[in-house]
Amino acid sequence: MARALRSPALWIALVLLLLAVSLPWWVSAYILGVLTVSYYFGVFAMAWDLLFGFANEVNFGPTFLIGLGAYTAGILDNTLGPPIFVCVAAGALVAMIGGVLLALPALRLRGPYFGLVTLVAVLLLQNAIVIFASVTGGEIGMNVNDILSVNAVTNYWIALVFIAVCGALLFGLSRSAVGLILQASGQDAIEAAALGFNVTKHKLAAFCVSALFSGLAGAMLVFYEGTASVGTVIDIAIAVQIIIAAVLGGRRTILGPAIGAIILVLAGEELRQLGQLNTFVVSAVALAVILFFPDGLLGHLLRRGERG
């Protein structure tokens, strides 16, 4: 634990957290709203990094897990209508079950096939939602009966606490003994197995944890926005954005992807006046970062620290 406390990544994150805490006193409700969304995206990206950065498995379908969580929570709210936290918990649980059902067969595959399976899963879910339009709202989307709050500041606090707690848990996990084994399994599965570690078990567990947090954040996002639609939680474009955010922020750092997600959402908003050019500029910058700083922003900073 002492070593985790000495990690510069943690201190960078704490400084940013303090900054985030002070924001409600000096920025507009509009910016708080944008940041709120970005925090949920941050959790998506962190959960994805656990799989890519540590288990070394590229999950092209983070939105499969997010979508399962979001739609489960939304549908439950609109049908049985239990308290919001029950809906969110149910969303997380279903995402986890879906994740296991997907990962169990997929992890037996090698190389790019795991990624392809996760990609196909997204398309399947997307189609399922369109087919069962009577319950899911189909392509138009679904309004949910309840929302977290109508107050922008309250919503901001909820999202901030949420990302801080998720970040602490995921970061702690990544620095724990289990995180070490997971990293070894991802880097050299044969050697990890020769050291007595059940590689499949550890990767499956990582997938579960990633699914849990993705589902949780997906469900929270639904109750923040009051709607769930394919375009906001399932579409491949969203998946790509999460992946870019994680790589931009810094693979294998957990906290970096959160920072990457916040930057990406903010940049998208800031450049909105460019119209169509907006996505182009953001993508071009992301591409440049991936090409020239493959370690990502935080990864690059930390690497320099290690060398220095």
Partner 1 sequence: MSQGLLEVAGLHKRFGGLVAVKDIGFTIAPGEILGLIGPNGSGKSTVMKLIMGIERPNAGSVRVGGQEVAGWPTHRIARAGIGIVFQHSRPLHRQTVLENIKLAMLPDSLLRLAASSHIEARAREIADLVGLSEVLYRHPPTLPFADLRRMELAKAIARDPKVVLVDEPFAGLTAAEVRAFSDLIAGFRAQGRAVLLVDHNVKGVTALVDRVLAMYLGERVAEGSAAEVMANETVRRVYLGGKIETHARPELDARPGRPLLDVRGVSVLYGKAQALQDVSLHVREQEFVSVVGLNGAGKTTLFNAICGLVPYFGNIAWDGQELRGRKAATIARGGIVQCPETRELFGDMSVRENLELGGQHLTAAERRSQFDWLYALFPILPARARQAARTLSGGEQQMLAIARALMMKPRLLVLDEPTLGLAPVILEQLSKALSELRRTTPITVLLGEQNVTFALPHADRVYVLEHAQIVWEGDPARFAEEAGAGYL
Minimum distance between the CB of residue 295 and partner 1, rounded to whole angstroms? 11
CB of 180 to partner 1, least distance (A): 5
What does the block give as tokens for 91?
């969303």
For residue 267, the minimal CB distance to partner 1 (Å) is 28
Closest contact distance (angstroms) between CB of 68 and partner 1 is 22
- Tell me whether residue 28 or residue 198 sits nearer to partner 1 (CB atom): 198
Q: Which is nearer to partner 1, 67 or 99 (CB)?
A: 99
Smallest separation, CB 153 to partner 1 (Å): 35
- Dihedrals φ, ψ of 242, to 5°? -65, -40
Residue number with CB closer to partner 1 (204 or 285): 204
Q: State the CB neighbour count (10 A cutoff) for residue 22.
A: 10
Beta carbon nearer to partner 1, 181 or 230: 181
- The angle at the Cα of 208, spanning 204 to 209, to the nearest 5 degrees, equals 120
Mapped onto helix, strand or coil, the DSSP state of residue 227 is strand
List residues near partner 1 by CB under 8 A: 1, 172-173, 176-178, 180-181, 183-184, 187-188, 190-199, 201-202, 205, 252, 306
167 or 252: CB nearest partner 1:
252
DSSP string, 12-40: HHHHHHHHHHHGGGTS-HHHHHHHHHHHH
Least Å distance between CB 255 and partner 1?
A: 14
Nearer to partner 1, 3 or 134 (CB): 3
Q: Is 59 helix (H, G, I), strand (E, B) or coil?
A: coil
CA distance linking residue 295 with residue 15, whole number of Å: 21
- Closest to partner 1 by CB, 147 or 193: 193
Nearer to partner 1 among residue 158 and residue 205 (C-beta): 205
Q: Using CB atoms within 10 Å of the CB of residue 209, give its burial: 0 to 12 exposed, 13 to 18 middle, 19+ buried.
A: buried
Nearest partner of 72 among 52, 54, 89, judged by Cα:
89
Q: What's the rounded Cα separation, in Å, for the pair 88 and 68?
A: 11
Q: Which among 12, 52, 25 has a CA at the least distance from the CA of 259?
A: 12
Q: Least distance in Å: CB of 191 to partner 1?
A: 5
- For residue 121 the two structure tokens come to 């899963």
Minimum CB separation of residue 97 from partner 1 in Å reads 17
H helices within the chain, ranges in order?
2-5, 8-22, 29-49, 62-79, 84-106, 112-131, 133-136, 152-175, 177-187, 189-194, 199-225, 230-233, 236-249, 255-270, 277-292, 296-307
